[in-house]
Amino acid sequence: MKSHLDEQQLNDCADDTLDPADRGRAEAHLAACDACRAAIDRLRQLRSELASLPRSITPPPHVLMGVRAMALAAPALHPERRWYTRPPLLAAAAVLLVVISSATTALLLRQPSGVGTGATAPPPTLSTGSAGLVAVHAMERSYEDAIAEVQRALREQQSSLAPETLHVLQANLDIVDRALAEARSALRADPGNDALTALVRSGYERKLDVLRSATSHARARS
């Protein structure tokens, strides 16, 4: 018997992509070679199994949130320049949303949700028509108070968190803080901008979310 079909020929047979010139030779060989026929059958079986895998897997909701923050606000189709076209702020918006999906944050957020944090209720929201400097200060003060309370609770429990978890948690908080600082700076310059107000509020909410989840996680482990 002539030598067996090589890997490419076997795959071409399984895919039905053999050149006509090669097809006759391959078929002649296969008529007398059980091993090559079996190899082609196995390749076809593998292809069938691969083709049966799901081709659609729904991404988590925060992916769309990130798309909206980064893309839908961007003036790709509408050239008027708006606040979110400024790269640092676009990056800040992105960071605020991306950070929540980091591995450690995801780990923390998967913890049982029923554990209380001892934190106060979320700070009051700001009506879009009152986004003056005084109102911005009030909003920030309210969030800072809530964050300070959660941080106190976390400090009491943090000994139950693994050092690497604390390290990544701090890194994430640093990222949020940097993004928040960008957004707050922009809001100082444009205190009536509702979108910037929403971005700042979102940053504070992210920070609270991370801290609360970490506190819950720590309490669950203690």
Partner 1 sequence: MLISTVPEEPLIRPPDAEPELIRRAQLGDSNAFDALYALTAGRVFAVLLRLCADRDTAERLTQDTFVLAWRRLDTFRGQSRFTSWLHRIAVNVMLQDSRASERRESRVIAVSDDVLHAAAGRASGSELRLDLEWAIARLPAGARTALVLHDIEGYTHDEIAAMTGVAQGTVKSQLHRARRLLQERLDR
Q: Which residues bind partner 1 (CB under 8 A)?
A: 7-8, 11, 42-43, 46-47, 49-72, 74, 76-78, 93, 96-98, 101-103, 106, 198-199, 201-202, 205
Shortest gap between Cβ of 102 and partner 1 (angstroms)? Answer: 7
Closest CB 60 distance from partner 1, rounded Å: 7
Q: From CA 87, how far away is CA 74, in angstroms rounded? A: 11
Rounded least distance, CB 42 to partner 1, Å:
6
**Shortest Cβ distance from residue 109 to partner 1 (Å)?**
13
Q: How far is the CB of 72 from partner 1 (least distance, A)?
A: 5
Closest CB 83 distance from partner 1, rounded Å: 13
Q: Which is nearer to partner 1, 1 or 103 (CB)?
A: 103
Q: At what angle do helices 133-157 and 163-189 cross, to 10 degrees?
A: 170
Q: What is the CA radius of gyration of the chain?
A: 29
123/153 with CB nearer partner 1: 123
How many CA within 13 A on the CB side of residue 177?
A: 9
**104 class by beta-carbon count within 10 Å (0-12 exposed, 13-18 middle, 19+ buried):** buried
Cα–Cα distance measured from residue 70 to residue 36, given in angstroms and rounded to the nearest whole number:
53
d(CA 198, CA 179) in angstroms, rounded, equals 13
> Taking Cα atoms as reference points, which of 202, 214, 218 lies closest to residue 93?
202
Q: In whole angstroms, give the CA distance from residue 188 to residue 131.
A: 11
Of 48 and 113, CB closest to partner 1: 48
Q: Of 71 and 162, which CB lies nearer to partner 1 in the complex structure?
A: 71
Can you list the alpha helix ranges (DSSP code H) found in 68-102?
87-98
SS3 53: coil
Nearer to partner 1, 156 or 205 (CB): 205
Nearer to partner 1, 12 or 153 (CB): 12
